[in-house]
Amino acid sequence: MDYGIVIEKIHQELKAYWGKGKVADYIPALAEVEPKRYGIAIETLDGHSFQVGDADIRFSIQSISKVFALAMVTRHLGDRIWKFVGREPSGNPFNSLVQLEYEHGIPRNPFINAGALVVTDRLMSLYEQPKDAILQFVRGICGNDDIYYDKHIARSEREHADRNMALGYLMKSFGNMENDVEDVVDVYCHQCAIAMNCKELTRAFLFLANHGVNPFNQEKILTVSQSKRLGALMLTCGFYDESGDFAFRAGLPGKSGVGGGVAAYIPGNLAITVWSPELNRHGNSLIGMETLERFTTDINNSIF
């Protein structure tokens, strides 16, 4: 199938959606992003690449980084990580404090902010230089050593991290945080500020499409079972309180970020990333979500 023709058609149609969403502004640096950007990139496991629009422009990957942090921790801790964070959809906003207190400091899943902070906390206990370790991991899985943090974004996030600090201290009070909360939030803000473009993110997701094995160097990142479980979590929890709707519409495991990126994959076949900064009311890329629904419909293929 010529995926290039498919995404070119979708890209032309969905530019008409510009203006229907809103760029994230609770982090001032994100509010500076040009809203009328839209890129799509696809990488297949048999070596074909397709892209359209703004696929070469880098953006902060934000919560998509949670997938990489979880993969790093899972490969070391295995199922032990699930003592500290759950595996169920939250049904609440990604930064909710209410559910966390009710459930005694155990976050519902690793993709809401509280759960991601727990994962980052465990990552810090595993690596002496966690910021460097995260960058090296991401560089390795996408085959590009030119991946860095956007320092402007990281600084802006850190200056407006009061809610994440509150989540961290609440979990600390329940004994579910090993490291200093301010240090954890600092590392977390940096991982969210990793800057990548659609092509690079798509390549970074290919190890998941390849059942845990990096297709570029055959390194085993995760076991088949671990890769399957990470995919299941993305399908059920990867899009905040819109996860069920995305599974219904697109039928793909994936992860979104408030920078406007959405990365997803079809196991054994391909990975795809969409970037469009304007968000819907759930904090997901409005055009990105629509793109992936149309993509799986047009190619008549998903995980179902």
Q: Which residue has the tokens 């070469």?
A: 56
Q: What are the residues whose beta carbons fall under 8 Å from the beta carbon of 276, sequence distance 6 or more? A: 21, 37, 38, 39, 260, 285, 286, 287, 288, 291
Contact at 8 Å (CB) between 232 and 31?
Answer: no
Q: Is 49 annotated as a binding residue?
A: no
Per-residue pLDDT, averaged over 63-79, amounts to: 97
pLDDT surpasses 90 at 97: no
Res. 113: pLDDT tops 80: yes
State how far Cα 207 lies from the chain centre.
Answer: 14
Q: How far apart are the first and last CA of the chain?
A: 19
pLDDT at 1 over 90: no
Signed CA dihedral, 44, 196, 285, 242: sign only: positive
Tell me the mean pLDDT in the region 231-240.
96
Look at residue 138 in the predicted model and tell me its pLDDT. 98
Distance CA 26, CA 29 (A): 9
Average pLDDT on 21-29 reads 93
Please give the Cα distance from 162 to 173 (Å, whole number): 16
Residue at token pair 């991290």:
161
264: tokens are 């997803």
The answer to whether residue 93 scores a pLDDT higher than 70 is no
Q: Cα separation of 221 and 204, whole Å?
A: 12
Contacts of 220 (CB under 8 A, 6+ apart): 212, 213, 214
Mean pLDDT of the chain: 96
pLDDT more than 70, % of the chain: 99
* 33 in a labelled binding site: no
Confidence of residue 26 (pLDDT cuts 50, 70, 90): confident
The residue assigned the tokens 């200056």 is 159
Whether residue 109 is annotated as binding a ligand: the answer is no
Nearest to 110 by CA among 102, 101, 121: 121
Q: Are 245 and 236 in contact (CB under 8 A)?
A: no
Q: Is 92 annotated as a binding residue?
A: no
77-86, 100-109, 121-130, 194-203: segment of lowest average pLDDT: 100-109
User: Which residue ranges form the domains of the chain, and what is each CATH number?
Assistant: 1-297 (3.40.710.10)
Q: Is the pTM of this model over 0.85?
A: yes
Q: What is the pLDDT confidence band of residue 122, given thresholds at 50, 70 and 90?
A: very high
d(CA 134, CA 139): 9
How far CA 303 is from CA of 50, 81, 266, 269, in Å, comes to 21, 26, 6, 10
Higher confidence at residue 173 or residue 96? 173
Distance CA 88, CA 108 (A): 6
Q: What whole-number distance in Å separates Cα of residue 89 and Cα of residue 240?
A: 8
Q: What is the pLDDT of residue 94?
A: 67
Is 164 labelled a binding residue? yes
pLDDT in the model for residue 96: 74
Which tens digits make up the pLDDT trace of 267-285?
999 999 999 999 999 999 9
Does the annotation flag 32 for ligand binding? no
For the segment 277-297, the average pLDDT, to the nearest whole number, is 97
179 is in an annotated binding site: no
User: Which residues fall within 8 angstroms of residue 2, CB to CB, at 6 or more apart?
Assistant: none
